[in-house]
Amino acid sequence: MDLMRYVLAFGVFIAHYNELAGHSVWYFISSFDCVGAFFALSGFLVYGSYEKSKSFRKYCADRARRILPPYFFIVILCALGLAFASTLPLSKYFSVLGFWQYLGANISFLNWLHPDLPGVFVGDEYVLPAVNGSLWTMKVEWSLYLSVPIVIWVINRFGLNRQKTVMVIIVSSVLYRWILISLYDHTGIGLLEILSRQFCGQLAYFYTGVLIYFYKYEFQAHLVKMFLIGLLLFVSVGYIPYGNIFISPVAVSILVLAVSLIKSTPDILRHRHNVSYEMYLFHFPLIQLLIFTGINGLPTYISFAVVVMSTIILSVICHFTICLPFLRRKSQRYN
């Protein structure tokens, strides 16, 4: 599972590098499916975590200790540090409304309200002026986390079958995304495409992970078969109309969990200090800085290596200085 997190983080990384820097580094999976696969992993882990939690408060606190410290850190670091990349003088940069709007919107997980900083990353060389286009998934992540207690309450309150209930959620999510994408294809209204990949559109990935959690022992007993089924479905996506909507959530979820649940893996692939989440948070603004500094003008794989190494170094520093103190508090409190 540690290995898969890095594979998925690099998938998003490469997609953003290609889009923002104008290069074409090859990768075998789309960034949307990489994000969906992250949600599938979350569904598999989080549902069981909530069932084992002593309370809703502890459940939320455990999620917050891992997610919030590096998230707040990258938002504040960009707000302060990118003052030197702004076209505005420092005195004006910190006094204009846009600076405070950026902080308020991003700290409250509403980054779409104000994704850019005043005078930062403006110019024809930038595809987007956004500081960190990866942060949109964080509000979705929290919404998915909070959906678990609601779904479990509904199941218990009305005596529903949990497997069937989750299947209904998955099918509803797929239909929601299909309807919005179909409308987008006919009207060209960009808002429809944006809405299609928000919370409701990601439920299919998350709850496919939950469904696999329900059958985890059977799933683990047939990992090779599950992997081959997932691979076959994944390959078939391009040959089926709207296959990326109808097939991808199941295919990607099966593939990523079939690999993640392999028991006999080398120790080098397992490490408690996984920094893939920090890499996900840091890579976008670093790619933008690559363009700002002109390093993007170097040959593709040199500029790519520079931004990869920068991302890894800052992610490791953030993990050990920002994240671990909060995780240790959790360990000391509950052990």
Total count of residues recorded for the chain: 335
Long-range contacts from 191-198, C-beta under 8 angstroms, 24+ separation: 197/32, 198/140
Long-range contacts from 79-85, C-beta under 8 angstroms, 24+ separation: 79/103, 79/106, 79/117, 82/117, 82/120, 82/131, 82/285, 85/120, 85/121, 85/289, 85/292
Residue whose structure tokens are 């996984």: 274
Phi-psi bin for 185: left (phi > 0), alpha (psi -120 to 50), beta?
alpha
Q: Which residues contact 223 (CB under 8 A, 6 or more apart)?
A: 258, 261, 262
Per-residue model confidence (pLDDT) at position 301: 87
Q: What pTM, to 2 d.p., does this model score?
A: 0.91
* Ordered per-residue pLDDT tens for the chain, 335 residues: 888 999 999 999 999 999 999 888 888 788 889 999 999 999 999 998 898 887 888 899 888 888 999 999 999 999 999 999 999 999 899 999 999 999 999 999 988 889 999 999 998 899 989 999 999 999 999 999 999 999 999 999 999 999 999 999 999 999 999 999 999 999 999 889 989 999 999 999 999 999 999 999 999 999 999 999 999 999 999 899 889 999 999 999 999 999 999 876 666 555 567 899 999 999 999 999 999 999 988 888 899 999 999 999 999 999 999 888 877 665 444 33
Per-residue model confidence (pLDDT) at position 331: 44
Structure tokens at 96: 């204009």
Hey, how many other C-beta atoms are within 10 angstroms of the C-beta on 165? 17
